[in-house]
Amino acid sequence: MTSHDYIVIGAGSSGSVVAARLSEDPRTSVLLIEAGGSDRSLNIQMPAASYLKAIANARFDWRFKADADPTRHGRRDYMPRGKVLGGSSSINGMVYLRGQPEDFDAWEALGNRGWGFADVLPYFRKAENNENGADDLHGAGGPLFVSNLRVTHPVSDAFVRAGVKAGLPLKSDLNRPPQEGVGFIQATQVRGRRCSAARAYLWPAMGRRNLRILSNAHVRRVLFDGTRASGVEYERSGQRESAVAGKAVIVCAGALASPQILMLSGVGSGAHLREMGVEVVCDLPGVGANFHDHPGTCHIAWVNTPTYNVQTGLPRILWFGARWLLTGRGPASTPDTHALGFIKSRPDLERCDIEYHFTPVGYDLTEDGPILFDKPAVTALANVHRPHSRGVVRLKSADHREQPLIQPNLFDDERDLDTLVIGAKFLRTLFETDPLSRFVTSEFKPGPDVCTDEDWRSYVRESGIGFYHPAGTCKMGRDPQAVVDERLKVHGVEGLYVADASIMPQIVSANLNANCIMIGERCADFVKSAG
For residue 313, what are the CA distances in angstroms to 320, 372, 478? 11, 14, 56
E strand segments, 263-348: 267-268, 282-283, 295-303, 339-343
> pTM of this prediction?
0.97
Given pLDDT bands bounded at 50, 70 and 90, which one contains residue 193?
Answer: very high
Greater pLDDT, 313 or 470: 470
Closest CA to 79 of 368, 304, 285: 368
Given pLDDT bands bounded at 50, 70 and 90, which one contains residue 489?
Answer: very high
Least confidently predicted of 50-59, 134-143, 163-172, 487-496: 50-59
How far apart, in whole angstroms, are the C-alpha atoms of residue 408 and residue 393? Answer: 8
Closest CA to 352 of 340, 361, 370, 360: 340
The predicted model gives 243-254 an average pLDDT of 98
How far apart, in whole angstroms, are the C-alpha atoms of residue 411 and residue 426? Answer: 20
**pLDDT the model gives residue 316:** 87
Contact 231, 249 (CB under 8 A): yes
Annotated catalytic residue 294: no
Greater pLDDT, 531 or 284: 284
How far apart, in whole angstroms, are the C-alpha atoms of residue 355 and residue 92? Answer: 17
State in Å, rounded, how far the first CA of the chain is from the last one. 23
Which one of the listed residues 4, 299, 357, 469 is annotated catalytic?
469
The predicted model gives 259-282 an average pLDDT of 98
How far apart, in whole angstroms, are the C-alpha atoms of residue 349 and residue 332? Answer: 39
Q: Which domains does the chain have, with CATH numbers?
A: 1-64+79-146+190-288+471-531 (3.50.50.60), 150-184+295-384+411-463 (3.30.410.40)
For residue 261, what are the CA distances in angstroms to 11, 62, 258? 15, 15, 5
246 φ/ψ angles, rounded to the nearest 5 degrees: -75, -30
Contact 97, 184 (CB under 8 A): no
Contact 411, 72 (CB under 8 A): yes
Mean predicted lDDT score pLDDT of the chain: 97
Given a cut of 90, is residue 164 above it in pLDDT?
yes
Given pLDDT bands bounded at 50, 70 and 90, which one contains residue 35?
Answer: very high
Contact 417, 389 (CB under 8 A): no
Residues of the chain with pLDDT > 90, as a percent, come to: 96
Given a cut of 90, is residue 231 above it in pLDDT?
yes
Q: What is the DSSP string of 424-460?
A: HHHHHHHHTSTTHHHHEEEEEES-TT--SHHHHHHHH
The predicted model gives 324-349 an average pLDDT of 95
Contact 357, 337 (CB under 8 A): yes
